[in-house]
Structures are given as C-alpha cells and as structure tokens.
Structure 1
Amino acid sequence: MRRRPRLVTAAVLVVLAVVWVFVNGPVEGPILYRIEEGHGITTADLLSVALVLVAGGLVVSAWRS
C-alpha cells in the first residue's frame, strides 16, 4: 500500500473515532472508569481507542515505507 492511501485511511479512522464517542449512547454498556458522577469511559468507548491505535499503526507504516 502506498503512503498517501494509508494516511488518508488513518485520517478517516480518527474522524470516525471522534464521531463514535458522540453517537455511541444507545450501546454504551457499563462504565469501566468513572471520571465524575454519571460520566466515564464505557465499553463502547474502547472502539474509539482501537480505531486510533489502528490509525497510528497506519501512520507509522506509511512513514517507514
């Protein structure tokens, strides 16, 4: 895979990760880490973390090639 498609894909994944945090309400699940009363990191938020990690891997592989 060439560098530019990897970087574009990484950017799209980061945008999706940010959007997911705001639209995941119906599927949030239990709070794993409580930040304050009624707010915290839920199981559905972990999808955003995974998307950002994959995007980071794509950026690193793009710069190495």
Structure 2
Amino acid sequence: MPTTDPFHALVLMNAVFASAAWSLAKPSWPAAISLVVASILWLFFNAPIEGAVLYVVDADRGLTESDFLTVGGVILAGMTAARVRRRPDVDS
C-alpha cells in the first residue's frame, strides 16, 4: 500500500467531501465520476489517518474506520448516477 504524509491524506479526504457535496447539490455524471475516483483513491492513500481497526483480515490488513468513507462515497455516486438517469432530458 502506498504511504503518504497526513497533509496529502487530508487533501484527498477533502476532495471526497467536495465531490460528495457537488453530487448532492448538482447531480451530474462528472460529479458522480469524480466522487468514485476520489473515494477509490482514498481507500489506498488513507494510511496516516485511518483510525481504529474494526475487523482484522490478517496481520497487515483489516477494515478501518476510514474505509467507510469509500463505501459511502461509492453509494452516493451510485445514487447520483440513478438521479441523473431518471432526470428527463430537457431541450433548452
């Protein structure tokens, strides 16, 4: 797993929050895609600020508190995609 310093991890966490806010405020395909990308990147770069281990897989791996940010981001991106698909096409 790549390691990084806490500053870059916090910047990426803010990118997830900003993408989530964008997805909630103005649902669109770019918002959903940016949220998925930021959430998946968060899974790999959250090491400095992971939090407590909730479930141990092996000596080096486990489910941590911050991994739920990825799950929430992907679910919200899916909901955003569903909202965009249901929206009727409006010709201006």
1:39 to 2:61 alignment? yes
Question: Which protein is bigger by CA-based radius of gyration?
Answer: 2
Q: CA deviation at 1:33?
A: 1.6
TM-score normalized by structure 1? 0.84
Unaligned stretches of 5+ residues in structure 1: none
Unaligned stretches of 5+ residues in structure 2: 1-26, 88-92
Bigger strand fraction: 1
* Corresponding residue for residue 7 of structure 1: 29
SS at match of 2:51: coil
CA distance in 1, matches of 2:35, 2:78: 10
Q: CA deviation at 1:22?
A: 1.4
- The residue type equivalent to 1:49 in the other structure is V
Q: CA RMSD in A?
A: 1.2
TM-score normalized by structure 2? 0.61
Whose RCO is larger (CA < 8 A, sep 6+)? 1
Residue identity (%): 36
1:48 to 2:70 alignment? yes
CA distance in 2, matches of 1:61, 1:33: 33
